[in-house]
Amino acid sequence: MRAFFFPIAVAAMIASPAFAQDQTVEIKNFMLMTVTVTQGSTVIWVNRDQVPHTVVEKTKLFRSAALDTGDSYSYKFDKIGTFDYFCSLHPQMVAKVIVVAAPVARPVHKAKPG
């Protein structure tokens, strides 16, 4: 009946959350996207519209130049928090980047040998 025992370490690996992960945000149809990333991640914005856009944080933490079609801008988020940003050319375009704590790394305990 030993087939009932599954390796615990494998299950733990599958369940472990991702750490800092870069995320790409497409700017389309005059819309910015709200994204949630872990601390230390880089967000990359790519303009998919046929008009220029910018990404500017409300307190000027980051501020891109005008992005033409296909241009991109990236910013690394080292601080936890909620960052409101907008397009300076179209101020109705608003969204947020929400930065959450990266999970603490924990060693995976091996199952006791049978």
For residues 25 and 87, which CB has a smaller minimum distance to Cu ion in the complex? 87
Does residue 47 sit in helix, strand or coil?
Answer: strand
Choose the binding region for Cu ion from 14-22, 38-46, 57-65, 81-89 (rule: CB under 5 A).
81-89
Does residue 73 sit in helix, strand or coil?
Answer: strand
For residues 38 and 83, which CB has a smaller minimum distance to Cu ion in the complex? 83
Q: Under the criterion CB under 5 A, does residue 25 sit at the interface with Cu ion?
A: no
Q: Least distance (Å) from Cu ion to the CB of residue 90?
A: 4
Kindly give, in sequence order, each residue whose CB lies less than 8 Å from that of residue 40, ignoring residues fewer than 6 positions away. Answer: 19, 20, 76, 77, 78, 102
Kindly give, in sequence order, each residue whose CB lies less than 8 Å from that of residue 92, ignoring residues fewer than 6 positions away. Answer: 30
Residues binding Cu ion: number (CB under 5 A): 4
- Binds Cu ion by CB under 5 A, chosen from 33, 89, 94, 102: 89
- Binds Cu ion by CB under 5 A, chosen from 32, 53, 83, 86: 53
- Binds Cu ion by CB under 5 A, chosen from 87, 96, 97, 99: 87
Q: Give the H/E segment covering residue 65.
A: none
- Specify whether the CB–CB gap between 70 and 46 falls below 8 A: yes
Chain residues binding Cu ion by CB under 5 A are: 53, 87, 89-90
